[in-house]
Amino acid sequence: DTGVSQDPRHKITKRGQNVTFRCDPISEHNRLYWYRQTLGQGPEFLTYFQNEAQLEKSRLLSDRFSAERPKGSFSTLEIQRTEQGDSAMYLCASSLNNEGETQYFGPGTRLLVL
């Protein structure tokens, strides 16, 4: 059973450029989450999908951020017109809808905006 995968693992971009990250969850997991982690902090929730439906977006997610999960499988997170404050680790997690509902995380995408 493969774990959660994310691509790319690292991204360096210039301010103002658009970037897109991909997350492939564990195959049978119907829930998918995006978190952002800045230096010295724990991850913060950004958004959540159940199957293909995006059910919640955090206030942290400005209009420049958009996430999709077509067909309820992989997900993409796009940041438009990147700013230096977007530099962070972007973590994806997935879970199965059950009592414990443990979220399993991918390796993350480290974004650096110059």
Partner 1 sequence: AQKITQTQPGMFVQEKEAVTLDCTYDTSDPSYGLFWYKQPSSGEMIFLIYQGSYDQQNATEGRYSLNFQKARKSANLVISASQLGDSAMYFCAMREGRGGSNYKLTFGKGTLLTVNP
State how far Cα 73 lies from the chain centre: 13
Taking residues 29 to 48 in sequence order and writing x for each that binds partner 1 by CB under 8 A, - otherwise, the string is --x-x-x----xxxxxx--x
Judged by beta carbon, residue 52 or residue 80, the one nearer partner 1 is 52
* x/- track of binding to partner 1 for residues 1-30 (CB under 8 A): ------------------------------
Question: Using an 8 Å Cβ cutoff, are 104 and 42 in contact?
Answer: no
Regarding 74 and contact with partner 1 (CB under 8 A), the answer is no
Which residues, including other chains, have CB under 8 Å from residue 62's CB and lie 6 or more apart?
Answer: none
How many binding residues for partner 1 (CB under 8 A)? Answer: 28
Can residue 70 be called a binding residue for partner 1 (CB under 8 A)? no
Q: Which is nearer to partner 1, 74 or 104 (by Cβ)?
A: 104
Which residues make up the interface to partner 1 (CB under 8 A)?
Answer: 31, 33, 35, 40-45, 48, 56, 89, 91, 93, 95, 97-108, 110
